[in-house]
């Protein structure tokens, strides 16, 4: 897979990135925990990951599988493009529709 390894200087960027992550974590956990509620925030972060990787993506894969098996490549591509646009608009509308 990795035909090219990261250039050595890349580790400097990675280190800077880790510092930025640390700053974010510090803001989330230490600075004002009564406002950030670290446990709830962590649950939302983990929840977002689990729901996407465990539900949304597998469903998308299954739908893709159905399309691959039932349509010709040309029509599959057309359907996929249209479905993508429709789902994007649905995602956008959903909060307004579901909000209590």
Partner 1 sequence: MIELPSARAVLHPVDEPFPPGAHDTRSAVTIGRLLGIAVAVAFVTGMISHLHQHPLGWLDLPSRPVWGYRVTQGLHVIAGIAAIPLLLAKLWVVYRHLFVWPPVRDAAHAVERLLLVPLVAGMLFEVTSGLLNVVRWYPWPFFFPRVHYGVAWMVVGSLAAHLAFKWWAVCGRIPEPVAAQPVLGDEPLASPGAAGAAGAAGAPDADRRALLIGALASTAAVTLATAGQTVPALHAISALKPRDPLAGPQGLAVNRTASAAGVRSAALDPGWQLTLAAGDRVTRFTLADLVAMPQQVARLPLACVEGWSAEAEWTGVPLRALLSAAGVPADAHLRAVSLERNWLYANSPLNPAQAWDPLTLLALRLDGEPLDLDHGYPLRLIGPNRPGVHQTKWLERIEVA
Using CB under 8 A as the criterion, which residues of the chain lie in contact with partner 1 when the complex forms? 1-7, 10-11, 13-14, 16-28, 32, 35-37, 40-41, 44-46, 48-49, 51-53, 56-57, 60-62, 64-65, 67-68, 73, 77-78, 80-81, 84-85, 87-89, 91-93, 95-96, 99-100
Minimum CB separation of residue 60 from partner 1 in Å reads: 6
* DSSP characters over 24-65: HHHIIIII-HHHH-HHHHHHHHHHHHHHIIIIIHHHHHHHHH
What is the longest distance spanned by two Cα atoms in the chain?
56
């Amino acid at each position: 897979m990795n035909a090219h390894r990261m250039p050595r200087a890349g580790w400097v960027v990675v280190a800077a990135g880790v510092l930025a992550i640390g700053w974010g974590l510090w803001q989330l956990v230490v600075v004002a925990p009564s406002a950030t509620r670290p446990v709830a925030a962590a649950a939302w972060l983990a929840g977002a990951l689990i729901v996407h990787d465990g539900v949304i993506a597998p469903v998308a894969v299954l739908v893709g599988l159905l399309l691959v098996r039932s349509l010709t490549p040309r029509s599959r591509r057309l359907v996929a493009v249209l479905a993508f646009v429709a789902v994007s608009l649905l995602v956008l509308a959903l909060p307004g529709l579901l909000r209590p």
